[in-house]
Amino acid sequence: MNLLFRTDASVAIGTGHVMRGLALAQAWQDTGGHAVFAMTEATPAIQARLVAEPFEVLSLCCAAGTLDDSAQTVALAKEQNADWIVVDGYRFTADYQRALKDAGLKVLFLDDYGQAGHYFADIVLNQNLSARTEIYPSREPHTQLLLGPNYCLLRREFTAWRDWKREVSPLGRRVLVTMGGSDPENVTARVVDALALVGVEDLEAVVVMGGSSPHSEMPEFSSAQSGNKISARRDVTNIAELMAWADVAVSSAGTTCWELCLLALPALLVHVAENQTAVARELARRHCAVHLGGPRDFTVEQLAEKLQKLLKSAETRQDISVRCRELVDGRGAWRVASAMRTGLRLRPARESDCRLLWEWANDPQVRGAAFSQAPIPWEQHEVWFASKMGNPNCDILVAQDGEGRAVGQFRVDWRSEEDGEIDVSVSSEFRGAGYGAVLIDLGVNRVFAGEGGQLHAFVKVENHASRRAFEQAGFTILGEVNLRGQPAIHYVRTSERDQASRSNISRSNMRSE
């Protein structure tokens, strides 16, 4: 399958739109897909980065977001045999989406705060903490919403760090400074000046300059006068390694925030663009970062004071680190790519699903994988189904693809408020195409959007397909157990959202959607 990305980058608008597109393009590429970028603006560094992946970069000769832009994009999509167009940028309006949809194309629209008004896209992705269904009251019936940090797009270089655990040192001495791909106001220079005022012995700092920054000479000049060990690096490709090295970061509040969360790195955040303000404020409200404000909201001395305080407080850094890691698990790009490939959506089970679930349960392959392999009589199933539908401690969800076909079911039986056991099955016509892991992950995230807690699954040792599906969906192995006289693998996945967020949504609300 082919993707066409329509996005731009410049010193003024930054590089974040392209970099999160790059993360999705890499995830698509990793599953055998092909991606092309169409741009009206691109800095030399961004163009070089995309080509090195390698992704083809095509130039459009028009003003971004105009009717001419949409016409050229449609023509390119057809020329490239694109299955999807991914649109990311604040200059793309509702009319732009409608023009792509009217041409018969599938559209994924990346959004940050409901800026388009009405949404015609097939999928709207908002990876921010503030993302809520209420932001999108005006959308087409077919429009699917992917909301929150579970869908944040992290590049391939972060994959190896998904299971890495941070050890918080008693005294922080290592600082990472990264102000985004362009840093037009040169906030980096002020941060470097602040480093000279920090009263921490043997302080080290790495200052990362984005490849599109026009201020590449400033860090070397400032660091020579600071008295600290400061090195400046430009357009790095090992930012994950640098985040793991650091004790604290001073960063812009763009897409880098989600990378910091995955690496559990405490940070002082500066919102360098209007769209970053809400992200920085919400992370600060959840005690996942310290928000300094915008570039004009603090002095060099104030920055130095807050940085010194954070470096010297292991307790604060530990608290921020734990809370950050709860937000991001590093699987967002896979989730988005899977949603595009499969088109899966979940809905609560209905009374009319009774026979469908009975047929799935009696499928020979399903019975063979079950711990009780005897066929289930219809009368017994009717009684069971009625009891489950009326049980507040049971959730049954049915997955449908983009054409409305039933693909499988996801059931949770709650042992307690925080502890549930999963049962999953996939229709025989959809097996072997990767639907299992996507169905499990969707179901888990739906449940965790309600109350969270822990979800358990028990899979026969010889059922390798189900084992792969649960592991791909982020479950970990607790060990081997004996269940009804048969060896089984015990899997578990724990909610990565903070308890305060989970407690605001009831499980009954989840089922009524």
Asked whether the beta carbons of 261 and 229 are under 8 A apart, the reply is no
Q: Is residue 153 part of a domain?
A: no
Number of compact structural domains in the chain: 3
Same domain, yes or no: 302 and 428: no
Asked whether the predicted pLDDT for residue 510 surpasses 50, the reply is no
Asked whether the predicted pLDDT for residue 358 surpasses 80, the reply is yes
Asked whether the predicted pLDDT for residue 379 surpasses 70, the reply is yes
Same domain, yes or no: 397 and 480: yes
Same domain, yes or no: 370 and 488: yes
Same domain, yes or no: 173 and 138: no
Q: Is residue 36 part of a domain?
A: yes
**How many other β-carbons are positioned within 10 Å of the β-carbon of residue 201?**
6
Same domain, yes or no: 257 and 355: no
What is the amino acid identity at position 311?
Answer: L
Same domain, yes or no: 490 and 358: yes
Asked whether the predicted pLDDT for residue 504 surpasses 70, the reply is no
Which of 294, 327, 360 is a domain's end point?
327
Q: Which residue has the higher pLDDT, 214 or 203?
A: 203
Same domain, yes or no: 315 and 366: no
The DSSP code sequence of 6-74 is E---BTTTBSHHHHHHHHHHHHHHHTT-EEEEEES---HHHHHHHHHTT-EEEE--S-TTSHHHHHHHH
Q: Is residue 337 part of a domain?
A: no
Same domain, yes or no: 448 and 397: yes
Confidence of residue 366 (pLDDT cuts 50, 70, 90): very high
Same domain, yes or no: 102 and 221: no
Q: Is residue 333 part of a domain?
A: no
**How many other β-carbons are positioned within 10 Å of the β-carbon of residue 170?**
9
Percent of the residues in the chain that have a pLDDT greater than 90, as a whole number:
78
Q: Is residue 268 part of a domain?
A: yes
Q: Is residue 376 part of a domain?
A: yes
**Tell me, what CATH number does 386's domain have?**
3.40.630.30
| pLDDT score recorded for residue 226 | 54
Q: What's the pTM value of the predicted model, to 2 decimals?
A: 0.84
| pLDDT score recorded for residue 94 | 97
Q: Is residue 336 part of a domain?
A: no
Q: How many residues can be counted in the chain?
A: 513
Asked whether the beta carbons of 178 and 243 are under 8 A apart, the reply is no
Same domain, yes or no: 102 and 186: no
**Tell me, what CATH number does 165's domain have?**
3.40.50.2000
Cα–Cα distances (Å) from 206 to 91, 188, 192, 223, 310, in that order, read 34, 11, 10, 10, 17
Q: Which residue has the higher pLDDT, 219 or 454?
A: 454
Same domain, yes or no: 322 and 348: no
Task: Give the domain range for residue 71.
Answer: 2-147
Which of 282, 298, 327 is a domain's end point?
327
Q: Is residue 332 part of a domain?
A: no
Number of helices and strands (H, E) in the chain?
Answer: 19, 20
Which tens digits make up the pLDDT trace of 247-285? Answer: 999 999 999 999 999 999 999 999 998 889 999 999 999
Percent of the residues in the chain that have a pLDDT greater than 70, as a whole number:
92
- What is the 3 state secondary structure string of 365-384? HHHHHCCCCCCCCHHHHHHH
Same domain, yes or no: 265 and 359: no
Which tens digits make up the pLDDT trace of 79-105? Answer: 999 999 999 999 999 999 999 999 999
Read off the DSSP letter of residue 333.
H
| pLDDT score recorded for residue 211 | 64
